Structure 1
């Protein structure tokens, strides 16, 4: 509170001091978040760009293998048998129809050695290539991008980086907000500046221009993560299987995943319908047997033209599943996402889920994943490439600014000094708590750092000299 006998000049100076202290505190948190986030952001940007361009140029799992078109393709069952002949002890799991007449069909065969892919010429049933499924360069980048090649631990580490990225973004916006310059000047680079001032200006200008896109990437990425996504958001936004009215199995759509995420986000935690009842809408006509070929014909009849995926039943209550979604590059339009389940015994349609049936968050994620992964077309890949390069620049420029600011010849991390008599600290604590509750992995990390500081760093002079 300002004393009554203070002059206007003193009041103004006091307010400026408070603002400066809060600025340095925000800068300090921005710095500490960046220490963890920078290597992850560079990794995510590089692997993300590579994944987009690999998928666009070469495709995934042989999906762009060229063939010579002929009068008509052979029956799917004939193609499938050729694929099975390449793996005599294997089990047919999935058929992926070619998106164009001059492309090969794909068959997933599960073997004792793992999931395999047979690339088949649909006109001759020749097996053109076989290889372990999800074993290409794209998948190496994908596994690095999502879990650092170390499974659940890697997923949590990446989620921490993305969660802290939100804090980095919030504090960065506060640091950027123009206090003396006009807003227009703060949005344009000042190329007349030199040294650290130039790096700071470019860092802040690039940061503000990509801030909305960065927030989009962080939220859409976190929605796939194991804690914030799977436990917090996805569980409350999944499609309610009860709406079908069909008997339900005890397995979720996620059971169709084979390592990487393949099932639409809104359905991954939804229970699958079960075969073996009289329920269902008309699918196959009476007397028509349920076979691979009649299922393909039914899929075409109900609107699955060009590329679509057919998953075969697993177990006695398993179902045939037809699907098309942009996440799996079946199409470039996320609004056309569709999943249909068919009873393996009667050929009746048990469920037909389309984009418009998703929850609001499910719809947002269907579009968001297509934009995040760059599967909505070349224009998205180009836009995302510019964003990824900008993100790398932010990381590099942040390191350069620290390097230019650090004490010469010192091995200290040298974070910005914490101001004394911090004003508005209660508001800062409340904001920190809100962000921690909203993003649990960020909160857990902040708590761990505070405990480490209190129990270890503050009590070991050598550590304090290096880290503080």
Structure 2
């Protein structure tokens, strides 16, 4: 009886050890794949924060002496057009000064498909600076951060990395909780730090615990912008209902959507509105707006929206085409304001001057509100405290990735092989962990594809080729 019991215990321990190794191995290989991407995202994120607060996202952080009289907006716009010196140049967007000592910025299209940003001194209507749109240091870092300059391929790779990062977070927290004797209090401290591997492991574990929730939030908000999970899954059912201004809920591809206002890679329109159809001018819809006796121009639209509560930095998009509308947007995602709950988008009919829609944070659905807040938090646009927190977070992510490689190097097996053997530990509640990981994998399509590919390679190739099995098992 005693012997049978001992054999049973040995068998249970052996199975538990193999399960521990199975979860540890998935954590290891997920980390091996995502670490370079995470370091790249953290580094470009730091750079974006730096450039956003020095140069400005749209080059708007240029300062001018404050004077008593502001020149008419029509005069400022004409100066911007004249600066481009093209016969068909037109103003497509106006960005109001962030503060009394800041420049106004106009996006001017030259008629040949090229857009330039023109910074104007609002007190003198003189040109301060001219630069190509979306080509400054901030936008370079943003392009790398978005798709590593590889277009849809890069977007897919980053989406896969973010999806696998979620799996890595869950497995990492589980294994750390297990190694800390299943006590949350011990997870929050490094414990006794020794030299070498013990030092790196202690800080890797405790920083992973503290950053896990924030990293999970960053992954979710980033994934919601990705091509597959974001564009095909959550964004499609999270869009704002456009029926209130008479646009069909299921528009054809010819109907413009809010995302068209982005006019490039850079996101300027709130996430929840990107796929929502635009209202159209020329109808009898809308509420009383600009007085009928006034001409509808950039000047009168700007004056009206200021009367309606728009202050500081906001953006006015001029109508596109005969049915286009005036769109006024102010949101934290575009560095307009530090408060995501104050997001606001207004549409004005170009003919009647009626307000077709005045969309505020309270009008978003719950996921749209989550995205508005999480994106602002993700980008560090909620004030200096969020900037400081993002800087610390990015540095912590870089340390976690570097320390992961150091830890592997210090415990790597002698001879051939990437993965160290299991340590003969008993793994509690492994079924719950497996179910959670499986569900998460199924939620994110690119992660599911990656896991299936790895599993097939493991089953078909690695387990059958002795050299590979020695390296990877």
- In structure 2, distance between residues paired with 1:414 and 1:439: 26
1:375 lines up with 2:381 in the alignment: yes
Whether 1:68 aligns to 2:74 is no
Aligned residue number for residue 255 of structure 1: 260
Give me the whole-angstrom Cα distance separating, in 1, the residues matched to 2:286 and 2:356: 5
Structure 1 CA distance, aligned partners of 2:421 and 2:337? 49
User: 1:401 corresponds to which residue?
Assistant: 407
Aligned to 2:151: 151
Report deviation, 1:320: 0.2
For residues 374-397 of structure 1, what are the alpha-carbon distances to aligned partners after superposition, in whole Å with 9 as ceiling and x for unaligned? 011110011111111111111111
Partners of 1:255 and 1:57 lie apart in 2 by 28
Aligned length: 464
Decide whether aligned partners of structure 1 residues 338 and 353 sit closer, same or farther in structure 2, where only a CA change above 3 A counts. same
Q: What is the RMSD of the two structures over their aligned residues, measured on CA atoms? A: 2.6
Give how far 1:360 is off. Answer: 0.2
1:94 maps to what in 2? 93
Equivalent residue, structure 2, for 1:136: 136
- Quick check: 434-443 or 51-60, which moved more? 51-60
The answer for the alignment partner of 1:222 in structure 2 is: 223
CA contact (8 A) 1:247 1:274 kept: no
Give the equivalent residue in structure 1 for 2:396. 390
Secondary structure in 2 aligned to 1:67?
Answer: coil
What is the deviation of 1:254?
A: 0.3
Deviations 1:276-315 (A, max 9, x none): 1111111111221111111111111111122110000111
Query: SS at the partner of 1:261?
Result: coil
Q: CA deviation at 1:187?
A: 2.1
TM-score scaled by structure 2?
Answer: 0.91
Q: Tell me by how many angstroms 1:331 deviates.
A: 0.6
- C-alpha change, 1:423 and 1:197, in structure 2 (3 Å) is closer
- Paired residue secondary structure (2:273): coil
Aligned to 1:104: 103
Shift of 1:209: 1.4
Deviates more, 1:373-382 or 1:103-112: 103-112
- Tell me the equivalent position of 1:203: 204
* Cα distance between partner residues in 2 of 1:356 and 1:395: 39
Residue number among 69, 76, 81 corresponding to 1:79 in the alignment: 76
Q: CA–CA distance in 1 between the matches of 2:210 and 2:16?
A: 24
The 8 Å contact of residues 340 and 372 in structure 2, kept in 1 or not, is answered as yes
Which residues of structure 1 form unaligned runs of 5+?
Answer: none
Q: Which 5+ residue runs of structure 2 have no aligned equivalent?
A: none
Measure, in 1, the Cα distance between the counterparts of 2:248 and 2:291: 22
- Per-residue CA distance 1:70-112 (angstroms, 9 max, x = gap): 2221111111111111222322110000011111000011232
- Per-residue deviation at 1:432? 4.4
Match of 1:42 in 2: 39
Work out the CA distance in 2 between the residues paired with 1:340 and 1:194. Answer: 60
